[in-house]
Structure 1
């Protein structure tokens, strides 16, 4: 099942790529595939929301590529082989990798690397690490979130982990509240530009999604 889903996912990624990213997607992705199979898909449950060879602009102005990125979670995942990233690395390459990690951090992404040995020998431990990371998304210690009522915080947290637009029925299930109460929560989030409507009309909205402001609020520390 994973093999077929991965092939379909890779084809979609290639279809939407161009330039150097397209070239990167044509290289050996054995390590990236291992990362997806052993950790990301078992934890996230879906390929939705993930991007392979995610392109970023480093602080020096050069393009850098992450093995896998979840833009909504603002997290970059990497599979690092000891041979290529440590044993045979040059001093210049070592410095480049450190600068690359700093660029990822300054651009507002969490850098979350795994070694090939960990993926092969300790997959459950690796999964547990990711569960812990996800659990900290939107943690109440984030200064911005403290300004929101608890129900609004929970809608943002559940919404960002869903990886796709959500409906009022979803909000009702998350909060265990009646639809009218959920409408008030959604209305407040929209008024603060933390979520936005998709489809429907000015009077009746069918679906909602987290805005860029909402994403930034969840990841503010």
Structure 2
């Protein structure tokens, strides 16, 4: 419990330090629901908070900024905690319509909208975790997607990098694919040509880290 509190506060302070405008205000409100979301769902599933963006900000079709409790941008998923009292029992008609419009805006931005009730997170955390695991599994394994047309090593590299949710190195790829680094270097180079993987830092001759490209994410999420 104490360890979680420390990790959550560290994550919150790090994100407050870089937040501006309305997102900064959102991060300074009561985040009880978001905290529960991390404790009983996201951290048990992913094991760490890397890649999780609190109060993820995006622009709706009308230009109004909308926020999701927790964004997983590398996976294109918005996860939310909805309290029955504030989101159902006492909601006005206007608020109800706004919530539906907000969910549509998330979809328009190319994200999967994945909400949980507070009761589910508190009383059925294991079931909630299984639900998220199922989403992660199905997104990356649907037959007929462009992903399935890739060579098996490229496909597995993308799946592993996607589930990792952050940048990766040559050594990581070698562990994932059980291949030598020189072979993995050739696989990465080929994927760079296909614009499936992008380099981060380093130099034109030597790249230290990589991340999954937007094009690869679209294959994973069947957006094209």
TM range (shorter): over 0.9
Three-state SS of the structure 1 residue aligned to 2:140 is coil
Q: Partner of 1:165 in structure 2? A: 167
What are the Cα deviations for residues 7-31 of structure 1, in whole angstroms up to 9, with x where unaligned?
0100011111111111111111001
Q: Partner of 1:141 in structure 2? A: 143
The answer on whether the counterparts of 1:75 and 1:112 sit within 8 Å (CA) in structure 2 is: yes
2:113 matches 1:118: no
Q: Partner of 2:212 in structure 1? A: 210
Whole-Å separation in 1 of the counterparts to 2:126 and 2:149:
36
Whole-Å separation in 1 of the counterparts to 2:33 and 2:203:
46
User: In structure 2, which of residues 97, 100, 124 is the aligned counterpart of residue 98 of structure 1?
Assistant: 100
Instruction: State the Cα distance separating 1:201 from its structure 2 match.
Output: 3.6
Unaligned runs of 5+ in 2: none
Q: Partner of 1:55 in structure 2? A: 57
What RMSD, in angstroms, separates the aligned Cα atoms of the two structures?
1.5
Instruction: State the Cα distance separating 1:173 from its structure 2 match.
Output: 1.2
In the TM superposition, what are the counterparts of 1:1-221 in structure 2 within 5 Å? 1-141=3-143, 143-221=145-223
Q: Normalised by the size of structure 2, how large is the TM-score?
A: 0.93
**Which range moved further: 138-147 or 71-80?**
138-147
Three-state SS of the structure 1 residue aligned to 2:139 is coil
**Which range moved further: 123-132 or 191-200?**
191-200
Runs (4+) off by over 6 Å: none
What are the Cα deviations for residues 114-151 of structure 1, in whole angstroms up to 9, with x where unaligned?
00111111000001111111112322425221331111
Whole-Å separation in 1 of the counterparts to 2:200 and 2:175:
20
Whole-Å separation in 2 of the counterparts to 1:201 and 1:38:
41
**Which range moved further: 31-40 or 208-217?**
208-217
Instruction: State the Cα distance separating 1:106 from its structure 2 match.
Output: 1.5
The answer on whether the counterparts of 1:142 and 1:219 sit within 8 Å (CA) in structure 2 is: no
Whole-Å separation in 1 of the counterparts to 2:178 and 2:190:
18
Unaligned runs of 5+ in 1: none
- How many equivalent residue pairs? 221
Instruction: State the Cα distance separating 1:220 from its structure 2 match.
Output: 1.8
The answer on whether the counterparts of 1:142 and 1:220 sit within 8 Å (CA) in structure 2 is: no
Whole-Å separation in 1 of the counterparts to 2:32 and 2:19:
19
Instruction: State the Cα distance separating 1:100 from its structure 2 match.
Output: 0.9
Instruction: State the Cα distance separating 1:37 from its structure 2 match.
Output: 0.4
